[in-house]
Amino acid sequence: MLGRFITFEGVEGGGKTTNIKIIAELLQDKGKNIVLTREPGGTEISEAIRDILLSKELPAMHQDTELLLMFAARAEHLQKKILPALAQGKWVLCDRFTDASYAYQGGGRGIDIKRIATLERWVQNDFRPDHTFLFDLDAETGLSRAKSRGETDRFEQEDIEFFNRIRAKYLEMAAQNSDRYHVINAQHNLAQVQQQVTDTLNSILS
């Protein structure tokens, strides 16, 4: 039996990392075998690429380099971890995936979407998530939540307009892919967000 591939997206501070753990527990209670992973990252090589991508110590990188490194990390992650786990019937929960490249490098940085689609086809062929949870909230609230945790990374130093464009791109993708997208209103308090997440998961499983 094939597993399922579920991705978690949104601007920073939306609660992906918090809620992915709740979903993992709910699925485990229902007897599913879970793999929790993230992008960029998820394997030793992809995590090393992540360190380069998020570093504030390195000089600013060209936006094409950033996009290509995201897909290099993804190629390794997909071939070495995601596809083998799905083939074993596991449910793979991934904190960000290719939609983040469309939102951040496409919407945020302004790279031509056709170039991102070319890389997506090259690295993934027709492989896409079965379900995507989008934690949607305004960028000001998300950034202030993310910053309240302390240390920021290279992306979190961008201006608010960068994050507004990212949010708009995510909402556009959600409208275009309503069969797999589940939009969670992450503006609410944590208990209310968790309720939406639980209800959505139950509807997926029923």
Beta carbons of 112 and 74 less than 8 angstroms apart = no
Residue number, 5 or 135, with CB nearest to ligand Z5A: 135
Q: Does 18 bind ligand Z5A (CB under 6 A)?
A: yes
Q: Closest separation between CB of residue 1 and ligand Z5A, Å?
A: 28
**Nearest to 69, CA basis, from 32, 34, 111, 36:** 111
Strands of the 5-9 sheet, one edge to the other: 34-38, 91-95, 5-9, 131-136, 181-185
The nearest distance, CB 143 to ligand Z5A, in angstroms, is 9
In the list 3, 6, 13, 133, the residue contacting ligand Z5A (rule: CB under 6 A) is: 13
Part in contact with ligand Z5A (CB under 6 A); list of ranges 81-89, 119-127, 146-154, 169-177? 146-154
Q: Which stretch binds ligand Z5A (CB under 6 A): 38-46, 56-64, 126-134, 173-181?
A: 38-46
Smallest CA-to-CA distance from 30 within 58, 4, 61 is with 4
Query: Contact with ligand Z5A (CB under 6 A): which of 3, 5, 6, 14?
Result: 14
Site for ligand Z5A in 70-129 (CB under 6 A): 70, 96, 100-101, 104-105
Rounding to the nearest 10 degrees, give the CA dihedral for residues 194, 196, 198, 203: -170
* Alpha-carbon span 134 to 12, nearest angstrom: 11
